[in-house]
Chains A and B, each alone.
Chain A
Amino acid sequence: QVQLQESGPGLVKPSETLSLTCAVSGGSISSYSWGWVRQPAGKGLEWIGHIYNGENTYYSPSLRSRVTMSVDTSKNQLSLRVNSVSAADTAVYYCARLISVAGGDAFDLWGQGTMVTVSS
């Protein structure tokens, strides 16, 4: 079955760029849509954005100016970049698969998450 595995540096300095990848195994990344969600310690889930058809992206308005998502079909992986990070970006970052639902899609498969700390 399809599995997701996030990876990236666990520590990023303030003002720098956070870069994460999500490796998709057991299936083709081209067959689905994908998204990223983050969760600060002790807090709720925050929608970062999602990508359809490998290129159509939708970002949370609160993060839109700093976020870029992309799909690399040759590597079967999803990428996330967040620019100009601050301590407020410290969180567990999840990649997840979207399933098509008539009234708005849902995340049916999640990676285990990767912790990112922003600190000098």
Chain B
Amino acid sequence: SQTIHQWPATLVQPVGSPLSLECTVEGTSNPNLYWYRQAAGRGLQLLFYSVGIGQISSEVPQNLSASRPQDRQFILSSKKLLLSDSGFYLCAWRPDSQTMGSGSSYEQYFGPGTRLTVT
């Protein structure tokens, strides 16, 4: 079976410090990977998605970046955190459409999240 891990679970960082959040998926290959942010009491904001190693699509211009150095590893980074970067960061995956075949429908699977507080 497939599992998705995120770490750390919680993080408190000062303004201006760097950030690195990691997400890994087990039990599948070539997944589509996603980073979302959820501000307190708000909905989901898609930040980045990736359909393959080294392929990153950015949805929202900001001081965050993402990388996919390995097939099942997705990293969210920042060089200098802002107060507005505080939130709950969720990683998600879903099977690759080419693997599953056209016409298939498959849901996204979410990790447990990382609670980031920038002080």
* A and B found bound together: no
- Residue positions of B touching A, CB distance < 8 A: none
